[in-house]
Structure 1
């Protein structure tokens, strides 16, 4: 019998699924039977139902908190284990790859002398000043570009061009314009982050659904009210994400900025250690930079989660 299986109105979901599978099998059999009489047509293959995949290897499938923490620990443990193996085995000379113990001792020495905290504060202060100024400029400008088509048409061509200019290329000009003091370092951090943060903020604002704007205007809201009470709150979590991403770029640029006649800072400490082949000190400073950046990232993630619970 090749016709569809009759279903009763009182059948259970399991019966319905069984009936659907039977219909599919009968359809395959009918097409295979029909294909035998035509040259060049092979019978359709019969495939087993796919096995359910693990959540770890499924696209965009949530995983449990326990699995998440285990994977996070492994992401640090595996590189650390490889580092220990390379240093203990002697495959790489200690001048080029110091052991974790040597790096830890170098860090303890810098802590005991007070150099580490002085350098960390000097670098953090430059990041706060340079990147903070970039945020103060880029967020309003990004809202203007993302909320108004005229603003996008006026600002985006120039900013799109300037973002391709490497910030390090401005060092000679900054020295000429601002000297070799702190202003030139802060200006370099500003140049290196302001354009990207502006464009990312504009994209977030532009992604606010137009239906929200239409409903707001329909309910009698004015343009300023729509901007303050609809656009900015809806885009705020995305703005924080943009700041979080570009904060990492600021920490990358600060090392280059501190090459300009610095007397303190983590970048200055790296350059000084390089002169004496103190690779253990260099690694210790890199670990400190990574931990400082990770702390800022975690704080911004928590802020983003708190102000944007509706996006979860």
Structure 2
């Protein structure tokens, strides 16, 4: 009987064959190809860096190889020399500071006004019914189309440029916030009412905690739009800022300065995005599972 039992156990639990172990290892290695599957941080970083390296290699081949006229696309060396000249001779650091101030001022005003409005629109249907038609209509109007009116109404000073950033970000921020708040699960609200919460108590203790991580991601997204609108704001009637420098360089056919200015805005936007990304994940680790 013992032999029979042992044989049955052998049949029920056969040892893993070498090819099965290899298949399991291969499956684990391919796991990062699955939709929305996490990948190791080193792999993520390596792929990210490789995309930048690939772009730099293509750029170098086109420019150093003489396939593109330097007037249209300077070499990386020429771009670096243009940047050094801008910082040492033209006070480019002051233009960077002015641009950062305009972006943050317009964006922060949009956040301070737009977030409460979006939260109330997503919470109370009567507020949504009153504001949504107007906000939805204006959202499709390009901010650049308002520039002549802003110049007529408030002149060409700092307020005009900050207003363009505000208009370019405010309306989308309000609507996206309202959608995020409206998507809070009804079961959570019903449970709060069952426990005796008031309407504003539900807003404070249920709706805001449930939606704030998503709202922060919306803020991060809209900040990127603010950086794109700064060029529009500074190209018209401006004597300072990165956008003004780009326009002046275009008139003098200084392509290196133009590209360096564009790259600077991109780097500033990327830096602000990374800061927000890290801060959001530190503030809400439970939401991201990290």
- Correspondence for 1:106: 82
- Correspondence for 1:41: none
Q: Deviations over 1:86-131 (max 9, x none)?
A: 1111111001001111111111122223622100111111111111
> Unmatched 5+ residue regions in structure 2?
1-7, 14-25
Which contiguous aligned blocks of 4+ residues in structure 1 show a shift greater than 3 angstroms?
A: none
- Correspondence for 1:153: 129
Indicate conservation of the 8 Å contact 1:141/1:198, yes or no: yes
Structure 1's 278 and 55: CA in aligned 2 closer, same or farther, altered over 3 A? farther
1:67 aligns with 2:22: no
- Correspondence for 1:168: 144
Q: Which structure has the highest helix share of the two?
A: 2
Alpha-carbon separation, structure 2, partners of 1:209 and 1:113: 58
- Correspondence for 1:84: 60
- How many Å apart are 1:61 and its aligned residue? 1.6
Which of residues 230, 249, 257 is equivalent to 1:281?
257
Q: Deviations over 1:284-309 (max 9, x none)?
A: 11111111001110111112112222
- How many Å apart are 1:56 and its aligned residue? 4.1
| Pairs within 5 Å for 1:1-312 | 15=12, 52=27, 54-113=30-89, 115-312=91-288
Q: Deviations over 1:14-58 (max 9, x none)?
A: 959xxxxxxxxxxxxxxxxxxxxxxxxxxxxxxxxxx84823432
Q: Give the aligned CA root-mean-square deviation in angstroms.
A: 2.1
- How many Å apart are 1:260 and its aligned residue? 2.5
Question: Match of 1:258, SS?
Answer: helix
- How many Å apart are 1:254 and its aligned residue? 0.8
- How many Å apart are 1:211 and its aligned residue? 1.4
Q: TM-score w.r.t. structure 2 length?
A: 0.88
Q: TM-score w.r.t. structure 1 length?
A: 0.82
